[in-house]
């Protein structure tokens, strides 16, 4: 009897939700605006879209309600999912697999076939893994929501682009310089926002990011504006260019010249850069400054009263996060050979933030997995040509990328605010729980 | 002189639109202490709804009177946008009360990205132009360097804004609903203990904010004659700047801030450089938040432990 009424009430609530959905969908989904031949806007009627939306909401809401009913308070999920041996071996196995990935692909698919896998999947994902880990220091560890992270990525990219085209400096000199510049900018922009509380800080960093991108767009003498900087020197193998010439990489090592060599080198380069970011973060978390970050994330006022210097703590987080973005930026410039302000918009910041949020703020593995799912997922979406046959030829799956990102951010905050891998254990803790004797605490055991 | 007067007229018009959006930010911040990042995109959505309703009533129902069409569009856009914001609050923000501090902001950023891309997917990425409406102008001065003009559109925008602000002021100051809203703003727990339904008051705050944003969206669509899915972000940030400048949480502050931002932007473009007008607005935002976080009319905020 009780189950029946609950199903009835779930039905009623789903019907209400689908009614609301129909109301929401009425103008914006049911009527599309199209240009006719004389460039006038005309309406295109597509009431079926509205019905589909209402139906989907009905089914979705009903399922959520029914599933929520059956669940009793869920037992807390154990923090470690894998047995200790697997957990110990897994990271190194993963790194070895990543190092072997381009070679396996090369032998399996040949130079032509593997290019897509190494470039679109490998390099592209690793850039975002690195950016995600960099932002993770600021957002995940120090708890400072930075919405202008892409500004430091831009500083790195333009540092390399300008230094190499104007002064002829090589990539290997520019890479540390780009990191330094970005870190300096991070500290500089971090300084004024120190006193601000969480959401104000987010908005000010957003404003800084927009100012940097507006200056890059409009200050044509400096950055060549929207047109961007072209013909940035490509990466060399520590001085040996990846060309077919006699002193090129291929000729020196007695290999047949192939364009894929450069891509494979770029893959290893970004892999090493990303691993450096990871290792530095892991080590820092065990140092006093890293512990201070995590303490700051949990409670700023408590931190201050315990004598932690919040100014230095926040500034180091900003500067270090920015430095890794600077490295990634100069890698981006050397990979593309071309930079313009379009690559450094707010949407880019939002993408990186979405990766950190979905992966679980503070979790290294989670951020890496989120980058794989989101960036790799974009590439997969692009290749699903059969969807074009279902939804018509004008269907462009990559348009749905940001739509899904946004939705995922909202759902994540509701269901798993700590992220997919929600292991936010403190880095340093007592190995054994100790009971403090009753003289030291007031009630019970501490 | 002519230039100054003309820019003043343009600036006040723009400021009226920013002020209407800014009220939505300031009210939500006042009542739940959250930066409603998606509000700019709600504004953009309302401009699209207004555009579609306008096309529908002129093409399907053959309404020819522009005034009547405008009135219908305004009312429909207000109602539908209010429904949207109500639903957004229910789905994306209400479950997060009592979650960690930054959760509502992150959710709002997600919602903002979702809304912009949703409109792009369902309505296409191209600009949506409309033929010019209310094109008549009044010549304020003549015979100088050029004639200073005041268009009917601008009168309409300032007039509609003024009337709605009066109605809104009456609602907040004189009705039971407004009293409940102000009570929740001061102390949510106490208001709940005294029998105010806090949840529905917060919902109503979102509904009112969205209705005012829809007015701004309709006026914006009519004034510029073109809308695009990416139009929510920059006006949204500028309106937020207006709310911060006027003192976040303060309703008259939002209107004054909106007018100031509109004037600063217009004069900056006219006398310095239109390339850097967004930089000007963003710099004001950063400077105000850093040096004067309580704005012109806001109360200083004290963090309690």
Q: What are chain A's domains?
A: 13-70 (no CATH), 104-415 (1.10.3470)
Give B278's contacts in chain A (Cβ within 8 Å).
210, 214
What's residue B216's pLDDT?
A: 94
A-chain residue closest to B240, CA distance: A203
What's residue A152's pLDDT?
A: 95
Mean pLDDT along residues A324-344: 92
The interface predicted TM-score (ipTM) is 0.86
Q: Taking a contact as any Cβ pair under 8 Å apart, which residues of chain A between 38 and 97 contact chain B?
A: 39-43, 49
How far CA B20 is from CA of A317, A404, B17, B37, B158, in Å, comes to 38, 30, 5, 16, 11
Q: Which of these, A203, A316, A378, lies nearest to B281 by C-alpha position?
A: A203
Closest in B114, B116, B303 to A407, CB measured = B114
Task: pLDDT band for A418, please (50, 70, 90 cuts).
Answer: confident
Give B103's contacts in chain A (Cβ within 8 Å).
413, 417
Distance CA A223, CA A339 (A): 10
Closest in B35, B45, B117 to A199, CB measured = B35
Give the mean pLDDT of chain A. 82
From A403's Cα to the closest Cα of chain B, the distance in A is 5
Give A35's contacts in chain B (Cβ within 8 Å).
126
Mean pLDDT along residues A57-81: 70
B-chain residue closest to A194, CA distance: B290
Mean pLDDT along residues B197-216: 93
Q: Which of these, A103, A147, A79, A34, lies nearest to A261 by C-alpha position?
A: A103
Is the predicted pLDDT of residue B294 greater than 50, yes or no? yes
Q: What is the pLDDT of residues B7-34, one digit of tens each?
A: 899 999 999 999 999 999 998 988 888 8
Distance CA A271, CA A265 (A): 10
Closest in B80, B130, B282 to A211, CB measured = B282
From B148's Cα to the closest Cα of chain A, the distance in A is 30
Closest in A147, A402, A409 to B117, CB measured = A402
What's residue B128's pLDDT?
A: 86
Contact between A204 and B286 using a beta-carbon 8 Å cutoff: yes
Higher-confidence residue of B34 and A91: namely B34
Total H helices, total E strands in chain B? 11, 4
Q: Taking a contact as any Cβ pair under 8 Å apart, which residues of chain A between 230 and 289 contact chain B?
A: none
Higher-confidence residue of A344 and A392: namely A344
Is the predicted pLDDT of residue B296 greater than 70, yes or no? yes
Contact between B84 and A24 using a beta-carbon 8 Å cutoff: yes
Contact between B49 and A27 using a beta-carbon 8 Å cutoff: yes
Asked if A36 reaches chain B (Cβ–Cβ under 8 Å), the answer is no
Q: What is the pLDDT of residues B208-234, one digit of tens each?
A: 999 999 999 999 998 888 898 888 898
Contact between A407 and B45 using a beta-carbon 8 Å cutoff: no
A192 DSSP assignment:
G
Task: pLDDT band for A443, please (50, 70, 90 cuts).
Answer: very low
How far CA A295 is from CA of A133, A283, A290, A363, in Å, comes to 19, 16, 9, 16
In 3-state terms, what secondary structure has residue A433? coil
Q: Sign of the CA dihedral A409, A413, A414, A420?
A: positive
Torsion angle in degrees (nearest 10) through CA of A383, A389, A395, A397: -30
How far CA A277 is from CA of A135, A144, A147, A188, A284, in Å, comes to 11, 19, 20, 21, 10
Size of interface A-B (CB pairs under 8 A): 177
Mean pLDDT along residues A302-331: 92
Q: Which of A231-235, B67-71, B272-276 has the highest mean pLDDT?
A: B67-71
Q: Which of these, A51, A45, A15, A13, lies nearest to A31 by C-alpha position?
A: A45
What's residue A429's pLDDT?
A: 57
A138 DSSP assignment:
I
Higher-confidence residue of B220 and A392: namely B220
Asked if A200 reaches chain B (Cβ–Cβ under 8 Å), the answer is yes
Task: pLDDT band for B124, please (50, 70, 90 cuts).
Answer: confident
Which of the residue ranges A61-65, A392-396, B169-173 would you say has the lowest mean pLDDT?
A392-396
Mean pLDDT along residues B256-283: 88
Q: Taking a contact as any Cβ pair under 8 Å apart, which residues of chain A between 415 and 434 contact chain B?
A: 417
* Per-residue exposure over A7-23, b if at least 16 CB sit within 10 Å of its own CB, e if not: eeebeeebeebbebbbb
Higher-confidence residue of A436 and A302: namely A302
How do strand A31-35 and strand A41-45 relate by DSSP bridges? antiparallel
Mean pLDDT along residues A401-417: 85
Is the predicted pLDDT of residue A65 greater than 60, yes or no? yes
Distance CA A363, CA A360 (A): 6
> Percentage of residues in chain B with pLDDT exceeding 90?
41
What's residue A446's pLDDT?
A: 39
Distance CA A372, CA A249 (A): 31
Q: Decide if B242 contacts B261 (C-beta within 8 A).
A: yes
Q: What is the pLDDT of residues A127-137, one digit of tens each?
A: 999 999 999 99
What are the boundaries of each domain within chain B? Answer: 2-232
Is the predicted pLDDT of residue A119 greater than 90, yes or no? no
Mean pLDDT along residues B279-300: 84
From A341's Cα to the closest Cα of chain B, the distance in A is 14
Give A196's contacts in chain B (Cβ within 8 Å).
289-290, 293
Mean pLDDT along residues A169-191: 91
Task: pLDDT band for A430, please (50, 70, 90 cuts).
Answer: low
Total H helices, total E strands in chain A? 18, 4
What's residue A438's pLDDT?
A: 47
> Percentage of residues in chain B with pLDDT exceeding 70?
98
A-chain residue closest to B96, CA distance: A414
Asked if B302 reaches chain A (Cβ–Cβ under 8 Å), the answer is no
Higher-confidence residue of B287 and B134: namely B287
Give B132's contacts in chain A (Cβ within 8 Å).
none
How far CA A262 is from CA of A246, A273, A329, B231, in Å, comes to 16, 16, 18, 41
Distance CA A302, CA B82 (A): 41
What's residue A433's pLDDT?
A: 57
Give A207's contacts in chain B (Cβ within 8 Å).
237, 282-283, 285-286
Which of the residue ranges A178-182, A355-359, B11-15, B146-150 would you say has the lowest mean pLDDT?
B146-150
Distance CA B122, CA A20 (A): 18
Contact between B115 and A27 using a beta-carbon 8 Å cutoff: no
Mean pLDDT along residues A320-327: 95
Which of B58, B102, B103, B123 to substitute to test the interface with A, most A CBs within 10 Å? B102
> Percentage of residues in chain A with pLDDT exceeding 70?
86
Mean pLDDT along residues A186-193: 88
Closest in B100, B122, B289 to A32, CB measured = B122
Contact between B84 and A27 using a beta-carbon 8 Å cutoff: no
Count Cβ atoms within 10 A of the Cβ of residue B128 and give its class: 0-12 exposed, 13-18 middle, 19 or more buried: buried
Tokens of A30: 């049911």
Q: Decide if A242 contacts A261 (C-beta within 8 A).
A: yes
How do strand B137-141 and strand B148-151 relate by DSSP bridges? antiparallel
Distance CA A279, CA A53 (A): 46
Is the predicted pLDDT of residue A274 greater than 90, yes or no? yes
A-chain residue closest to B132, CA distance: A40
Higher-confidence residue of A90 and A97: namely A97
From A192's Cα to the closest Cα of chain B, the distance in A is 7
Q: Decide if A308 contacts A156 (C-beta within 8 A).
A: no
Q: Decide if B298 contacts B247 (C-beta within 8 A).
A: yes
How far CA B207 is from CA of A304, A309, B81, B172, B210, in Å, comes to 40, 43, 8, 13, 5
Tokens of A356: 């950190």
Contact between B110 and A49 using a beta-carbon 8 Å cutoff: no
């Amino acid at each position: 009897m009780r189950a029946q009424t609950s199903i009835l009430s779930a039905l009623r609530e789903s019907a209400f939700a689908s009614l609301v959905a129909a109301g929401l969908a009425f103008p914006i989904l049911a009527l599309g605006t199209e240009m006719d031949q004389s460039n006038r806007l005309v309406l295109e009627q597509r009431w079926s879209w509205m019905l589909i939306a209402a139906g989907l909401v009905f089914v979705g809401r009903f399922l959520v309600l029914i599933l929520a009913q059956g669940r009793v308070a869920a037992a807390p999920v154990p923090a470690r999912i894998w047995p200790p041996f697997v957990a110990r071996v897994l990271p190194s196995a993963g790194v070895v697999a990543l190092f072997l990935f381009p070679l396996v692909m090369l032998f399996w698919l040949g130079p032509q076939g593997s290019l897509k896998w190494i470039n679109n999947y490998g390099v592209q994902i690793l850039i975002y893994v690195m950016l995600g880990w960099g932002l993770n220091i600021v957002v995940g560890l120090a708890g400072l929501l930075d919405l202008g992270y892409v500004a430091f990525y831009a500083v790195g990219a333009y540092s390399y682009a300008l230094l190499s085209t104007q002064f002829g400096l090589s990539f290997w000199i520019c890479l540390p310089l780009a990191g330094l510049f970005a870190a300096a900018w991070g500290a500089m922009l971090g300084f004024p926002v120190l006193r601000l509380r969480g959401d104000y800080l987010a908005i000010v960093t957003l404003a800084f990011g927009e100012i940097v991108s507006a200056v890059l767009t409009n200050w044509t003498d400096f950055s060549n504006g929207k047109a961007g900087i072209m013909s940035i020197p490509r990466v060399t193998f520590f001085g040996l260019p990846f060309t077919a010439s006699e002193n090129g990489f291929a000729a020196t090592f007695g290999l047949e010249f192939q364009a894929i060599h450069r891509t494979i080198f770029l893959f290893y380069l970004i892999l090493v850069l990303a691993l450096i970011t990871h290792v530095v973060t892991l080590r820092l978390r065990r140092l006093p400054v890293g512990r201070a970050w995590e303490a700051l994330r949990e409670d700023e006022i408590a931190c201050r009263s315990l004598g932690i210097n919040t100014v230095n703590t926040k500034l180091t987080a900003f500067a270090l996060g920015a430095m890794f973005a600077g490295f990634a930026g100069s890698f981006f410039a050397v990979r593309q050979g071309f930079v313009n302000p379009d690559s450094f918009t707010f949407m880019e910041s939002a993408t990186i933030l979405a990766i950190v949020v979905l992966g679980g703020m503070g979790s290294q593995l989670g951020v890496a997995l989120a980058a794989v799912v989101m960036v790799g997922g974009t590439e997969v979406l692009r290749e699903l040509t059969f969807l074009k046959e279902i939804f018509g030829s004008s269907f462009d799956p990559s348009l749905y990328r940001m739509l899904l990102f946004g939705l995922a951010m909202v759902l994540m905050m509701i269901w798993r605010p700590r992220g997919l891998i929600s292991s936010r254990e403190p880095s340093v803790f007592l190995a054994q729980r100790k009971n403090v004797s009753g003289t030291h605490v007031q009630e019970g055991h501490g | 002189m002519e230039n100054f007067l003309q820019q003043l007229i343009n600036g006040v018009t723009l400021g009226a639109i920013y002020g209407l959006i800014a009220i939505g930010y300031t009210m939500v911040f006042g009542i739940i202490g959250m930066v409603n990042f998606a509000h700019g995109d709600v504004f953009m959505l309302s401009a699209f709804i207004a555009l579609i309703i306008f096309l529908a009533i002129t093409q399907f129902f053959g309404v020819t009177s522009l005034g009547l069409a405008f009135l219908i569009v305004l009312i429909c856009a207000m109602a539908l946008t209010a429904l949207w914001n109500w639903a957004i609050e229910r789905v994306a923000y209400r479950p997060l009360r009592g979650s960690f501090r930054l959760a509502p902001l992150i959710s709002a950023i997600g919602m903002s990205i979702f809304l912009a891309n949703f409109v792009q997917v369902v309505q296409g990425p191209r600009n949506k132009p409309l033929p010019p409406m209310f094109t008549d102008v009044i010549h304020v001065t003549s015979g100088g360097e050029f004639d200073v003009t005041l268009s009917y559109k601008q009168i309409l925008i300032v007039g509609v804004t003024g009337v709605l602000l009066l109605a809104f002021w009456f609602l907040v100051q004189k009705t039971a609903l407004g009293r409940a809203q102000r009570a929740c703003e001061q102390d949510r727990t106490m208001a709940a203990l005294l029998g105010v339904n806090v949840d529905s008051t917060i919902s109503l705050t979102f509904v009112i904010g969205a209705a005012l944003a829809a007015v701004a969206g309709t006026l914006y669509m009519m004034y510029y004659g073109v809308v695009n899915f990416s139009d929510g972000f920059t006006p949204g940030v500028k309106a937020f700047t207006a709310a911060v400048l006027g003192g976040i949480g303060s309703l008259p502050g939002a209107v004054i801030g909106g007018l100031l931002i509109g004037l600063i932007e217009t004069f900056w473009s006219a006398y310095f450089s239109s390339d850097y007008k967004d930089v000007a607005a963003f710099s004001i935002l950063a400077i105000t938040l850093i040096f004067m976080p309580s704005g012109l009319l806001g109360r200083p905020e004290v963090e309690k432990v």
